[in-house]
Amino acid sequence: MRAVKNIGKLFICLFLIVGLGVAAVGCSKNEQQSAPNQAGQGTGEPGQNSGPGSEPSGADPGTDPGADPALPPDPADVSRTAALLRDRGIPVLYYHSVMIEEGNELRMPPEKFDQQMAFLRDNGYESVSLAQLYAAAYEGGVLPEKPFVITFDDGYEDNYTNAFPILKKHGFTAAVFMITAYIDGGGFLSWEQLRALTAAGWEIENHTVNHLDLTTIDEAALLAELRFAKEQLEAGLGTTVRFVAYPYGVFNAGVIQAVRDTGHQMALTTLRGWMSTQDDPWHVKRVYCYATMSLDEFARRVQNPNY
């Protein structure tokens, strides 16, 4: 009887040992199958760190490894833009102030400005930035079929209070050539307003520190006027200043060299006409817009490069 009991205990022990061994093998096999999946490797199945919304091993944070790279411009659009810039040009409008002041042709009445922008919108024109213009002219970029640029010289406060809401209504942006010594001064743009314009897609560019006739000052003063204004704007706005408008539209070979030496890529004049690649980037022509001009005259200037 005792022998039977001992044999029964032996069978029970053997059963437990075999069962535990099978369970251990099963656990080990399951772990080996799931480990590659957890790492996203080895099985061809998406794991925790692969697939949409996650970063595969070695991916840079903030990148989308599944995104297509930016497509190059259509060669046909590049050719069309190059022909437009070479053969016809693009109107670069320049204003100063948008407000009413009787007898001052620099002060464009807001109602007239609104009418001009409505004309452009209704006739299919699209505003482009100076950066887009430069890229199209000198770097093989493309532009819409009816592009134009809006610029304001000096940095009057009404560029923000009056012009900005009108342009926003019509879906346009602009560039301001800012005299930096006038920032936060009476009647001129503040840093807060300049930052708001920048955030809205406007460009704030260089019109020197003090708006001097650059042809009448020595080389050291000339370089300081250009360099310090550029540095002020870049530090205050967190942008790169690439373009300059000559104060009073006055320049000579020495001024052009100083503009180049201080890291600018293009300079705008007050010479009459449209911007064209038949001119170099230091002689960009613009279309003057003044307070007493009629809408017909405005239309003529933006439709005919030989106005």
* 149 has pLDDT over 70: yes
- Specify the amino acid at residue 275: M
- Asked if residue 126 belongs to a domain, the reply is yes
Q: What is the pLDDT of residues 57-93, one digit of tens each?
A: 333 333 333 334 468 889 999 999 999 999 999 999 9
pLDDT of residue 72: 84
Q: Which domain holds residue 159?
A: 78-303
pLDDT of residue 212: 98
- Asked if residue 132 belongs to a domain, the reply is yes
User: Which H or E run includes 235?
Assistant: helix 219-237
Helix 295-303 × helix 110-122 angle, to 10°: 40
The pair of three-digit structure tokens given for residue 172, joined into one six-digit string:
């346009």
- pLDDT more than 90, % of the chain: 76
- Asked if residue 25 belongs to a domain, the reply is no
- Asked if residue 36 belongs to a domain, the reply is no
Mean pLDDT (the chain) is 84
| DSSP 8-state secondary structure symbol assigned to residue 87 | I
The domain tally of the chain equals: 1
Q: Report pTM.
A: 0.77
Q: What is the pLDDT of residues 182-216, one digit of tens each?
A: 999 999 999 999 999 999 999 999 999 999 999 99
The pair of three-digit structure tokens given for residue 267, joined into one six-digit string:
């300079």
pLDDT of residue 71: 80
- Asked if residue 24 belongs to a domain, the reply is no
The arithmetic mean of pLDDT across residues 109-129, rounded, is 98
Which CATH number characterizes residue 117's domain?
3.20.20.370
Annotate 92-159 with DSSP letters as a single string. EEEE-B-S--TT-TTB--HHHHHHHHHHHHHTT-EE--HHHHHHHHHS-----SSEEEEEEEE-BTHI
pLDDT of residue 285: 98
| Greater pLDDT, 192 or 37 | 192
How confident is residue 148, by pLDDT bands cut at 50, 70 and 90? very high
The arithmetic mean of pLDDT across residues 26-48, rounded, is 33
Q: What is the pLDDT of residues 252-291, one digit of tens each?
A: 999 999 999 999 999 999 999 999 999 999 999 999 999 9
pLDDT of residue 155: 98
- Asked if residue 55 belongs to a domain, the reply is no
* 249 has pLDDT over 50: yes
- Asked if residue 124 belongs to a domain, the reply is yes
- Asked if residue 40 belongs to a domain, the reply is no
